[in-house]
Structure 1
Amino acid sequence: MKPHDMGVLFDQCAERGASTRFHLDRPFDLGPGTRTEYSVAQLAVLVRDFAGRLAAAGAGPGDRVAIVKDNHWDYDLLACAAVRIGAVPAQLSAHLPPDVLAVLLGRLRPALLVTTRALLENGRRAGHDPAGLANAVLALDGPAPGALGPDDVRGHDAPAPRSRHDDDPLVIHHTSGTTGAPKLVAHSTRTIIGKLARFEAVRYPRIGLRRDDVLANASAFAHGRTFCWTASVLCLDPRSVTILSRPDPDLSDPLLRARPPTVVEALPAAYVRLRPLTRRLDHAFRDVRLFISTYDAVHPPVLRAYLEASTRRGALWMQGWGQTETGPLTLRFHTRRSVRPAGTGSGARNLGRPVPVRTRLRVVDPDTLRPVRRGCPGLLLTRTPARALTYPGEADRWAAKHIDGWWSTGDLGIHHRDGTVTLLDREVDRTPQLSCLRTEDLLEDRLPGVLEVVVLARPGQAPLPVVVTEDGTLDTVRWRTAVTGLPPLQPPTVLTWRQLPRTGTGKVRRGALLRQLTGDAGTCGSGRWT
């Protein structure tokens, strides 16, 4: 079976006898109760039930339904419920600051906002009341001023499923927002399901899901990757799925040990946070045959830790590079050998090759937009049939990112003669002295035990390195040894994990961090392609 209509997908999978069991690290936010295990049929009931609730709250065909809540997989159940009644769900991360959330809601002007009492109160305290930007508000966890509560919409039958044209808007997500306010991105059934989820819902050798697989997913469930993942996983029907909404090592360990995964997909930041588990005796990653990462590159020490923790011969790490607007553009496969310090691979910043058949890449000079030769750095452009429809509320910005029929990713990189692509930096973050991303990889390799290194470009000054450690300290002798042979850097700023501003996907908000440390967020890049 291949996915198509997300409004009835859970029903269709249940009817054909899908047997996957879903295990949660905590109960869903969409309703009361303590249940943490579901069958596909039980999830289908939840989607139908909430379709009735959304309709009772005033949402209907063609309306936008904004969903903003704590991170959990029920983001996708709520989205499917909205799709079922003909509405267009907009999944917005609760990590967005109140002022930024207000900007996105202002662009959306949703007919219904589905949220929580805490998020409403946080916005009001900050002077940005989310309720004032929607026609109606439904608070999932109880009544709130100006909002409907669960009792107001419970018990209403779901309307008959509404279909839509494959090229009509289906769902709206937003970009990570590492360089400013995120952009809203609208996808259609044809782009996100037809070109992405259906491509993934195939039992490829080695990298495809099997019926006996046990999956673990620690993701940012408000983002487009998991909407696509939900569609493909339901159709591939693995044995079980473990959902980690809060990837804390101590909280996640018992759940992973109860069902040791064979396939793991997680945010790069989640892999970093769960890395201590790889050093425990009888750890839960011993049977993993495939690790999957998206959103951002994973630094080599983290890759090594997980691949060496697996006892599976031929364990693979599949790294996807892409964007909310396009889906994955390239795929790269890492092995234990390729990620060794003296291995044969070309580093974690080599993104592999374009997705076969579907993706084309081109590199141009970021200033003149003229094509550059293979092997030369430049601005990465792409063509893909999976490209989204538009930026809702910012049509001019969408049009400005098109260059002679190509889409500007905003990333700087090199397209090598062998077809592989190396990522250097975001254009807005570039500096003439070095590649910030490559330097981060090198420093993390030279500083075992650090959680993360972030190199920030500054106009007219040496780049500023930020070193993240468990306790916020760093040995100065180790640092001087680590930077030997590198271009000049400023003295490091040492922080703990929680001191860095991050997006909902765990990416460091580089502009916000630079302003936090220096009072100025100015960069060396033009910012034209953000």
Structure 2
Amino acid sequence: MGVLFDECAARGTRTTVHLDRPFDLAPDRGTRWTVPELAALVRETAGMLTAAGVRPGDRVAVVKENHWDYDLLACAAVRVGAVPAQLSARLPGQALVTLLTRLTPALLVTSAQVLARARREDTDPTAAATTTLVLDAGIDADLPGTLRPDDVRGHPAPAPVRRGEDLPLIVNHTSGTTGVPKLVTHSTRTLVGELARFESVRYPRIGVRRDDTLLNANSFAHGRTFCWTGSALCLAPAKIVIVTGQDPDLADPLLRAHPPTLVEATPATYVRFRPLTERLHNPFRDVRLYASTYDAVHPPTVRAYLTASRHRAPLWMQGWGQTETGPLTFRFHTRASTDEGRGPGSRNLGRPVPVRTRLRVVDPDTFRPVPRGRPGLVLARTRARALGYVGEEARWSAKRLGAWWNTGDIGVLRRDGSVELLDREVDHGSGLSCLRAEDVLEERLPWALECLVLTGADGPPLPVVVTADGRLDADGWRTATRGLPPLAAPVALTWEQVPRTDTGKVRRTALLRQLTGTAGTGGSGRWT
């Protein structure tokens, strides 16, 4: 990965990259890039890291505003033999400091805005790092003890440092929906050899073609995009379009200028961009494949995007996995399968990736396999399993069962080999799947942006309906809940009032505490 851009440039890759805003690494160099220009930027950044004191084996933490240059910084760190750790700037201040303390990075690459937010929360991320490089230090002169870009710019890039395939390559954090995220370490063998290489194939219908325009609207602090960067560059599409925010009006001009043929985005971004599917200049008209990871997308949203495409038979590819394992299952949705009342719903996650992964469902108390069709704890087996958690070895060992990995999810293994996800174990209550109930509510409340069902330690589950204005029609709610188990009185919120992770996942424990004053959940939380 340290020489990825160099090798693609040497092969004559003609991909052009179009950004919705300039890189934080290169704020004055515009929004259109070629692969040779990106390779030069990675080399330049490698020189900056070396000038800042980074040496082979060091950790380099990156905490900044969302953009694809998270991965360019990571590639530069790998090039000099260091281990990049990509951390979201949206982490709460104390959680960020906790993760940095576990990492003890030789260098923290960050922004003045991140440090300003940390000060407001009475935390100091720089205290855990030997040196701090502030990319936009010109905005805030009151940053004593830090390096500015001009302090390290202009130094030549050292020769690439090759490290063993089983040594740490990169560190990424988990979503953190239930508390402080874990820090997951992957190697070149697990992330590149088992994951990126698997994606770097021109599969029929779903593979990347040389005339494709790839849209990626993701959280670039997460390991998914580092893997995607490797495979996308090697497949050399005509264009790559990068969107960093979730405001549909800001994204619309770029998408209309470069209509995508393949789309990958976080579930939350799909929800926020859904109004674009109904506009006169629908930017999704040429899409033949949508891909979603991190979390399931409810059927009404999937249906809206598949309908927006003018392709004869567009597909929605839904992947399920974890930061620790990479993808474990996948399934495809079509226009027909997402018709209301048809298909198995978004919680059926499909079958294990052929040859690469195996699943079993066990009793959470005895760990004995349960018959197909009965709910239990989902275990996974894959050669792409990460190396461990930074600073939490006991927690890693508790989830590792020999060759099997405890996902911490409650699910059902169907007779056809597919797996249906019911809940995270920590959120699972007796007699109700929160995720199934959310599917039903979103079908019956098409005007809702999102429906959530939270289980506390006591009382009936608490439904939360996210709407544009934070209001909920009482008659519509009564109709929507017919046939469902008893629920508490609903709470209506706007999108901004819901605490979320960097990928847009709802921080359910934090939301439960926000609404009820307690964070007690229906499950045990032993495997979060």
2:41 is aligned, of 37, 46, 60, to 46
Q: Distance in 2 between matches of 1:526 and 1:404?
A: 22
How far apart, in 1, do the equivalents of 2:499 and 2:260 lie? 31
Name the TM-score, length of structure 2 as normaliser.
0.98
- Alignment pair present for 1:58 and 2:88: no
Find 2:106's aligned residue among 87, 92, 111. 111
Secondary structure in structure 2 of the residue aligned to 1:231: helix
Structure 2 distance, partners of 1:523, 1:458, is 4
1:349 aligned residue: 347
Residue number in structure 2 paired with 1:413? 411
**CA positional deviation for 1:342:** 2.7
Partner of residue 153, structure 1:
152
Aligned to 2:266: 267
Query: 2:241 maps to which residue?
Result: 242
1:181-212 CA distances to partner (integer Å, 9 max, x unpaired)?
00000000000000000000000001110001
- The residue type paired with residue 218 of structure 1 is A
1:3 — aligned with what?
Answer: none
User: Please, which of 114, 118, 133 is the counterpart of residue 123 of structure 1?
Assistant: 118
CA–CA distance in structure 1, aligned partners of residues 125 and 249 of structure 2: 34
Q: Which runs of 4+ in 1 moved over 6 A?
A: none
- What is the identity, as a one-letter code, of the residue corresponding to 2:485? P
Partner SS, residue 478 of structure 1 = helix
Partner of 2:195: 196
Q: 2:379 aligns with which of 359, 377, 381?
A: 381
SS in structure 1 opposite 2:137?
coil
Compute the displacement of 1:281 (Å): 1.2
Distance 1:318 1:185 in 2: 25
Secondary structure (helix, strand or coil) at the match of 1:380 reads strand
Once the two structures are superposed, residues 158-186 of structure 1 have per-residue CA deviations (whole angstroms, 9 ceiling, x without a partner) of: 11100000000000000000011000000
2:499 to 485, 498, 501: 501
Q: Does 1:490 align with 2:488?
A: yes
* Pairing 1:359–2:354 present: no
The alpha-carbon deviation at position 405 of structure 1 amounts to: 2.8
Shift of 1:248: 1.0
Structure 2: distance between partners of 1:151 and 1:102 = 26
- Aligned-partner residue type, residue 157 of structure 2: A
1:213 matched to 2:188 = no
Q: Partner amino acid for 1:181? A: V
In the TM superposition, what whole-angstrom CA distance separates every residue of 1:312-348 from its partner, at most 9, and x where no partner exists? 01100000000000000000100000011132x2111
* Distance in 2 separating the partners of 1:17 and 1:106: 42
CA distance in 2, matches of 1:248, 1:20: 26
Take 1:396 and 1:459, find their aligned partners in 2: how far apart are those partners?
26
Deviation at 1:34, TM superposition (A): 4.5
In structure 2, C-alpha distance between the alignment counterparts of 1:117 and 1:254, rounded to whole Å: 29
Tell me the TM-score normalised to structure 1 length.
0.98
Residue number in structure 2 paired with 1:133: 128
SS of match in other structure, 2:420: strand
Which one-letter code corresponds to 2:308 in the other structure? A
Single out whichever of 113-122 and 90-99 deviates more from structure 2.
113-122
1:501, CA displacement in angstroms?
Answer: 0.1
**Per-residue CA distance 1:227-262 (angstroms, 9 max, x = gap):** 000000000000101100012110111100001111
2:183 matched residue in structure 1: 184
- Distance, in Å, in 2 between the alignment partners of 1:406 and 1:187 is 17
> Could you say what secondary structure the match of 1:413 adopts?
strand
Residue aligning to 2:526: 528
Cα distance in 2, alignment partners of residues 31 and 256 from structure 1: 22
Letter in 1 for 2:172: H
Note the residue ranges of structure 2 that are not aligned, 5 or more in a row.
Answer: none
Q: Whole-Å Cα distance in 1 between the matches of residues 518 and 120 of structure 2? A: 26
| Contact 1:267-1:294 at 8 Å conserved across structures | yes
Q: Are 1:16 and 2:14 an aligned pair?
A: no
Give the C-alpha shift of residue 118 in structure 1: 1.6
Q: CA deviation at 1:282?
A: 2.7
2:335 and 2:341 map into 1 onto residues whose CA distance is 11
State the alpha-carbon separation in 2 of the partners of residues 405 and 433 from structure 1. 32
